[in-house]
A and B are shown apart, each in its own frame.
Chain A
Amino acid sequence: MKFDNHIRRSGPAMLGAAMLAFSVNPVSAEDITVTSFGGIWETAIKDCFASEFEKRTGSKANVLIGSPAQWMSQIEANPDNPPIDVIVTTQSQTMAAGEGGLISRATAKEVPNLADVDPIFIKAVDGWGACFDFGAFILAYNKDTIKNPPKSIKEFVDRTIKGDWMATMPSVSYAIAPDIIWSFADLYGGSADNVDPAFAVFKQLKDSGNMISWSSVTDFLNQMSTGDADIGMYWDGRAYAFIDKGNDWMGVIKPTDKAFMSCVAMNKAKGAPDAAWDYLNIVFEPGPQACFSDHLKYGVTNQKVQYSEEMKNRVTWPKDLRAPNVSTSRKIAQNAADWIERWNKEIGF
């Protein structure tokens, strides 16, 4: 009975103490937690940035795999002691994280290598640090079935409607569908305030019966591999990575009327230790950036990067990219729900 009483009195306290003991983060004060997507991304982050950070500082950079929504929630839930020190985010997420007080604004003072980043990639995230890599939405095609590929997006659209091939483009369920709607509007004389020209093109493509859609990056490769599609809009880095795996039947065209650009930023969580700045400075350094580009086949943002010969020919340079400015990005975010609803009603793929 005495034992029962003892357990009853001290049990909750013991359980609480044990839980807190187990929940204490085992990393030392100098160690940091950085984030990455899975697969080749994680390999590149470890090989190019985390290992370099560990070599220079002697501290460990623990790499957490996941997605930005998860990381932002974790920082928001633990504002005084964020479990993440460096967060990877898309453009719109970066601005949302900045305005929500989740990240610290990085300048060349904290991250000296930001001084060499092309300003387009700083403006792309409204000055909340900068993007460190970027992808272009190029045209990837099957060289066996298309001998005379299009040179521009407008030619791609016209010849798809004409029936020269079966094409594929992202469906409305793909994350950046609103940005793609804007890029078509911009290409065909509209804007973020007037996307009618984009919808007119989409309707023609749909009515032609020569267009299917992909909803994930693996979908696209499956459609191309199985012959369901001959050509489509896709990310340049992913297309090159696929080609390098022995699929040399796939070709890439950088459209002459500019490819839509999307980029990925990296920022220090508010409340994270200063070691996170050191990590970010490595992320924006030419050498580690070139390493990252070689791994992922995407362009990187420091203008002093010496690309490998192969990547020099592959990267779609900023002058050939179509990217929304900050005010347009905000309009895209504001109108996204309406555009998706309109897409579902009028286009439906």
Chain B
Amino acid sequence: MLIYVVLFFIFLLGPIFIVVSISFTETEFVAFPPQGFSWKWYQRFFEYEPFIDSFIVSVELAIATALLAVALGVPAALAVTRGRVPYANTIMTFLLSPLSMPLIVVGFALLFYLSALGLGVSFVSLLIAHTVISLPYVVRTVAGVYRGISPDYEESAAVLGANRMQIFWYVTLPMIKPGIFAGMLFAMLISIDNLPISFFFGSADTNTLPVVMLSYLEHQFDPSVAAASSIQLIVAIIGLFIVERIYGLDAMAPAS
């Protein structure tokens, strides 16, 4: 059994280990095992303006996407899970449908749809597109947590005179927080890593890091893309660390 666990971790962590180790190579080309040790590809990352600019756009976009997905996804999940909404299952399937479609198709379709609406290639279009693909993660996690909570708590609050807003704020919200945090975290990670959607909405001001990395990788052969990937990884780890410190990762599991 232990051997399977070890193999599983090698399978998951092996590629990450290779990318990170390549980012410290001294050579001008990507090679494994890396030769020598150097920080120069990290220096290159910070010196190459499009990397930094697109990195900032990616982080801003990930945060905005997570917030918008929560603003839309939490009410939707609550309504569909326990509200008297006709065709609740159909609506839930619709909300989760972006998961089952190739992202490049979603991106292409949204480009033409949002352009027809007059939003064109802009940060708002990019934000809407990222929210569309992040929404299922928020809806799924919040709905999962909310389903596990007995309706008795909300009914007791109502019996004691709380209005709907008070019930949500003082009873429901504290209990579904783990689902919201988990959904936000997924939304951020999905957004920051996304290429097929961002590919169609890049402008000179709104290009994201994965799009710039792809173009760089196609036309330049140095290992600075490995450094960019490692920095992305560090950002994700810092995000998880912060969530762990302020909330606790264990608490985000729906079963807790």
Contacts and interface: CB of A to CB of B under 8 A. Distances in A.
Given A39-B219, A64-B203, A22 B212 contact: no
A37 B125 CA distance: 23
Interface string A1-39: 000000000000000000110111110000001000111
A65 B122 contact: no
The 4 closest A-B pairs by CB, nearest first: A39-B220, A38-B215, A62-B204, A38-B216
Contact of B215 (A26, A66, A78): A66
Interface string B207-246: 1000111111111110000000000000000000000000
A64 B208 CA distance: 11
A123 B27 CA distance: 41
Chain B interface mostly helix, strand, loop or mixed?
helix
Nearest to B119: A23
Interface residues of B, number: 37
B215 A222 contact: no
Given A38-B215, A40-B219, A73-B108, A78 B120 contact: yes
Contacts of B200: 70, 73-74
Select the residue from B120, B123, B213 with max chain A CB neighbours within 10 A. Answer: B120
Given A22-B124, A65-B50, A74-B200, A38 B218 contact: yes
Select the residue from B31, B203, B205, B219 with max chain A CB neighbours within 10 A. Answer: B219
Interface in A49-106: 62-67, 70, 73-74, 77-78, 81, 83
B220 A23 contact: no
Contact of B28 (A19, A42, A217, A245): A245
Nearest to B215: A38
Interface of A: 19-20, 22-26, 33, 37-42, 62-67, 70, 73-74, 77-78, 81, 83, 216-218, 221-222, 225-226, 238, 242, 245-247
Given A19-B119, A65-B202, 4 more contacts: A23-B120, A38-B215, A64-B204, A65-B50
A20 B50 contact: no
Contact of A62 (B118, B120, B205): B205
Contacts of A25: 120, 122, 203
B30 interface: yes
Interface string B5-34: 000000000000000000000011111000
Contacts of B31: 222, 225-226
Nearest to A64: B204
A197 to B, nearest CB: 31
Contacts of B118: 20, 23
Nearest to A32: B204
Given A62-B205, A65-B211, A42 B50 contact: yes
A221 B204 CA distance: 30
B46 interface: no
A37 B204 contact: no
B221 A23 contact: no
Given A62-B204, A64-B204, A221-B221, A37 B215 contact: yes
Given A20-B119, A33-B204, A81-B120, A66 B199 contact: yes
A245 B40 CA distance: 14
Contacts of B29: 218, 221-222, 225, 242
B27 A38 contact: no
A40 B217 CA distance: 11
Nearest to B126: A23
B52 interface: no
Contact of B202 (A23, A40, A66, A217): A66
B78 interface: no
Interface of B: 27-31, 50, 108, 111-112, 115-116, 118-125, 199-200, 202-205, 207, 211-221
B30 A218 contact: yes
A23 B207 contact: no
Contacts of A38: 50, 212-220
B115 A77 contact: yes
A39 B27 CA distance: 17
Contacts of B116: 77
8 contacts: A25-B120, A25-B122, A39-B216, A70-B211, A74-B111, A77-B121, A78-B120, A247-B28
A228 to B, nearest CB: 11
A221 B207 CA distance: 28
Given A38-B216, A78-B115, A218-B29, A64 B207 contact: yes
B151 to A, nearest CB: 25
Contacts of B216: 38-39, 65
Nearest to A220: B221
A41 B207 CA distance: 16
B204 A22 contact: no
A134 to B, nearest CB: 16
Given A65-B215, A67-B218, A222-B30, A23 B50 contact: no
A83 B120 contact: yes
A298 to B, nearest CB: 12
Contact of A40 (B30, B124, B220): B220
A217 B112 contact: no
Select the residue from B123, B199, B202, B212 with max chain A CB neighbours within 10 A. Answer: B202
A209 B123 CA distance: 51
A23 B123 contact: yes
Select the residue from B204, B213, B216 with max chain A CB neighbours within 10 A. Answer: B204
Contact of A242 (B203, B205, B221): B221
